[in-house]
């Protein structure tokens, strides 16, 4: 009898959590709010991270993340499966909103990322840790100065930890093109980073041409 | 061309651990990128509030459990009670049938005893 009492029927929420994105999407497109809630739970963190690193501040990241999901909910009924995963669709909404945000705020000074989110390794010497944090700041500044597609690529690769194939689906490029863009981005970043490092270390200021 | 250090310019010392970047290779840069671009957690309040705005609050019963779980619990308890009731009813039916059979048997025996000739008593 105890065994019988301990049986719990699978709830709809649990069942939805076991379904694939595409299956949940069909239900969400039919107006099932619980299904949309499941998609929200799956992607809120990823979309927030993407926007956070593109905007460099928490307030705008939250604002834009909310807009992404409101827009997704509004248009989910018209979503057509064209072989592009739902995640790619969401990232594209996010990408467009961030691009608009950058355009609207092009004259506004970018607020640096909050220090609380980045920490140097705990086991290293404090002075070395300070240098490491400074390096990370410099690198972040360089990343925000990169073209949009390169920033997007780095965020998807390092923050979201997506494969080249997944990044390709989101960015609408082939896997080979993503790989090539990645190597060009690394080269550019390395050159700029080393130049900056030399500039700081030599105590000289590059002459403006 | 770089201009020389002048008064007012900031001077920085290159520490030993900075020199490694003079030969920064791709994998070192990748490690630095991985350390810099760490995933961040959105505020829990923000996530919860946005969810509420999008799909409404999660349904909760007066016991604080999700309503669906409570419904499931009531359903399971109801099923268990029904099974118990069914078992009790079955036992009662069996007992009643046995009782009826017993009564019938007793009645038949009584009838047989009445029909049998009474023993003659010698006067």
**Domain spans, chain A:** 11-111
Residue A2, chain B, CB below 8 Å: the answer is: no
Q: Domain A11-111, what fold?
A: Rna Polymerase Sigma Factor; Chain: A (1.10.1740)
Whole-model pTM: value is 0.63
Pick A59 or A17 by higher pLDDT: A59
Averaged pLDDT, A106-122: 53
Mutation target to probe the A interface, by most A beta carbons within 10 A, among B15, B44, B54, B73 is B54
Write out chain A residues lying below 8 Å of B33, CB-based: 139, 154, 158, 189
As a whole number of angstroms, the distance between CA A14 and CA A141 comes to 43
Tokens of A177: 């093109």
Query: Would the CB atoms of B11 and A203 count as touching at under 8 Å?
Result: yes
**Tens-place pLDDT, residues A80-111:** 766 778 888 899 999 999 999 988 887 555 55
Averaged pLDDT, B12-22: 54
Query: Would the CB atoms of A186 and B4 count as touching at under 8 Å?
Result: no
Residue with tokens 């909910």: A73
Average pLDDT, chain A: 80
* Percent with pLDDT over 90 in chain A: 40
Query: What is the predicted pLDDT for the residue at A12?
Result: 62
Q: Decide if A130 contacts A120 (C-beta within 8 A).
A: yes
pLDDT at B19 over 60: no
Residue A63: band (very low, low, confident or very high) from pLDDT cuts 50, 70, 90: very high
Averaged pLDDT, A152-164: 93
* Percent with pLDDT over 70 in chain A: 75
Q: Which of A28, A86, A15 is nearest to B55 (CA)?
A: A28
Pick B65 or A44 by higher pLDDT: A44
HSE, side-chain direction, 13 A CA sphere, residue B23: 2
Query: Would the CB atoms of B2 and A132 count as touching at under 8 Å?
Result: no
Contact residues for A98 (Cβ-Cβ < 8 A; gap 6+): A51, A54, A55, A64
Residues 5-34 of A with CB under 8 A from B: 5, 7-9, 11-13, 33-34
Write out chain B residues lying below 8 Å of A206, CB-based: 2-3
Residue B73: band (very low, low, confident or very high) from pLDDT cuts 50, 70, 90: confident
Q: For residue B73, what is the enclosing H or E element? A: helix B67-115
Query: What is the predicted pLDDT for the residue at A7?
Result: 46
Query: What is the predicted pLDDT for the residue at A200?
Result: 65
Query: What is the predicted pLDDT for the residue at A195?
Result: 81
> What ipTM was assigned to the predicted interfaces of this complex?
0.75
**Tens-place pLDDT, residues A27-46:** 888 888 888 999 999 999 99
Residue B122: band (very low, low, confident or very high) from pLDDT cuts 50, 70, 90: low
Query: Would the CB atoms of B40 and A52 count as touching at under 8 Å?
Result: yes
Backbone angles phi, psi at B2, to 5 degrees: -120, 140
């Amino acid at each position: 009898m105890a065994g019988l009492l301990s049986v719990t029927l699978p709830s709809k929420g649990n069942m939805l959590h076991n379904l694939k994105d595409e299956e949940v999407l069909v239900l969400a497109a039919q107006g099932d709010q619980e299904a949309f809630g499941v998609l929200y739970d799956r992607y809120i963190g990823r979309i927030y991270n993407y926007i956070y690193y593109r905007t460099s501040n928490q307030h705008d990241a939250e604002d834009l993340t909310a807009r992404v999901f409101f827009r997704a909910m509004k248009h989910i009924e018209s979503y057509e499966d064209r072989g592009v995963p739902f995640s790619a669709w969401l990232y594209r909404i996010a990408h467009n909103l961030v691009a608009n945000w950058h355009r609207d705020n092009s004259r506004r000074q970018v607020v640096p990322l909050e220090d609380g989110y980045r920490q140097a390794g705990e086991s290293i010497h404090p002075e070395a840790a300070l240098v490491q944090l400074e390096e990370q700041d410099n690198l972040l500044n360089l990343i925000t100065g990169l073209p949009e597609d390169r920033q997007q690529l780095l965020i998807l690769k390092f923050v979201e930890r997506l494969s080249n194939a997944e990044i390709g689906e989101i960015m609408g490029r082939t896997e080979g093109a993503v790989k090539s863009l990645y190597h060009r981005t690394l080269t550019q970043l390395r050159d700029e980073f080393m130049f900056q490092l030399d500039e700081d270390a030599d105590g000289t200021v590059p002459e403006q041409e | 061309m770089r201009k020389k250090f002048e008064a007012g310019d900031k001077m920085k010392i290159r520490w030993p651990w900075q020199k490694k970047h003079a030969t920064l290779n791709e994998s070192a840069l990748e490690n630095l990128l991985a350390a810099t671009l760490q995933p961040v957690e959105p505020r829990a309040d923000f996530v919860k509030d946005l969810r509420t705005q999008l799909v409404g609050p999660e349904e909760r019963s007066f016991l604080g459990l999700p309503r669906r779980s409570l419904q499931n619990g009531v359903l399971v308890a109801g099923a268990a009670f029904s099974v118990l009731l069914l078992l009790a009813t079955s036992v009662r039916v069996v007992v009643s049938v046995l009782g009826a059979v017993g009564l019938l048997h007793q009645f038949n025996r009584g009838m047989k005893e009445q029909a049998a000739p009474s023993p003659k008593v010698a006067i």
